[in-house]
Amino acid sequence: MIKNVRQQVKTLQNIVTRKGSSKILTFSAPHVLKSIFCFANQKYVSRATFCKEIHLGEGAVKTLISHLKEYGLVDSIRAGTFLTKKGIKFANQFYNVMPSQGLIKKCGITNGKFNYAILLKKEFGASIENGMQQRDYAILYGASDSLTLIFKNKEFVFSGDKISCFTDELETKDNLIKLLSPEEGDIVIITSSDDKFVAEIAAINTILWTLGTS
């Protein structure tokens, strides 16, 4: 599994490589994965909807779709752009290792107006130490903070520690379990920002770097 996912991450990095004398790209690997998830959630995605979802201008979106087409991951018809069979398989491989994600409310251990959580399967725990690297990856994309938690004995604990995170916030813990459906040993990365999209794209970047270095 780990080897396959590394190859998937490498493909994302190749997609955002400049082609020949093309202009500097305004999107990166996390934007590409966010795009693939966007296409996976809808049968057809219009250019206008895609611009709104991915927070890029029309020119950048056109280039991104072109790069995805080069790799056979998407195609377009009048109704919009959609994932090909290869694209669906590509998306599913990521869903297998990061099966759930979403926004959570601000609480005692998160400091942003928006806080985005992504679950990463336990097989990738070897690359998680005290969570500081993950925090660096999140801040690189504009997050104000990042937390790396491990689900152990039906509790969330800080990575590299045994202290329960939500002793005084049981509602937050229950909501996180409901949102992510974690299993024993799974990893949860939460990034914070005053901007909703930044919180999400920073979380995705953190996951990709973690997968790529596992």
| pLDDT recorded at residue 102 | 96
Domains of the chain: 2-95 (1.10.10.10), 98-212 (3.30.1360.30)
How far is residue 100 CA from its own chain's centroid? 10
pTM of the shown model: 0.92
| pLDDT recorded at residue 168 | 86
pLDDT tens, position by position, 114-125 = 999 999 999 988
| pLDDT recorded at residue 162 | 76
Cβ atoms of 204 and 30 within 8 Å: the answer is: yes
| pLDDT recorded at residue 125 | 80
| pLDDT recorded at residue 1 | 67
| pLDDT recorded at residue 100 | 97
DSSP string of 10-54, one letter each residue: HHHHHHTS--TTPPPPS--HHHHHHHHHHHHTSS-B-HHHHHHHH
Half-sphere exposure of 124 (CA within 13 A, CB side): 30
Q: How far is CA 72 from CA 75, 76, 90, in A?
A: 8, 11, 10
Token readout for 201 is: 């794209």
| pLDDT recorded at residue 84 | 97
Token readout for 83 is: 């994932």
Segment (H or E) for 83: strand 80-83
Token readout for 199 is: 């919180």
Positions in the chain short of pLDDT 50: 21
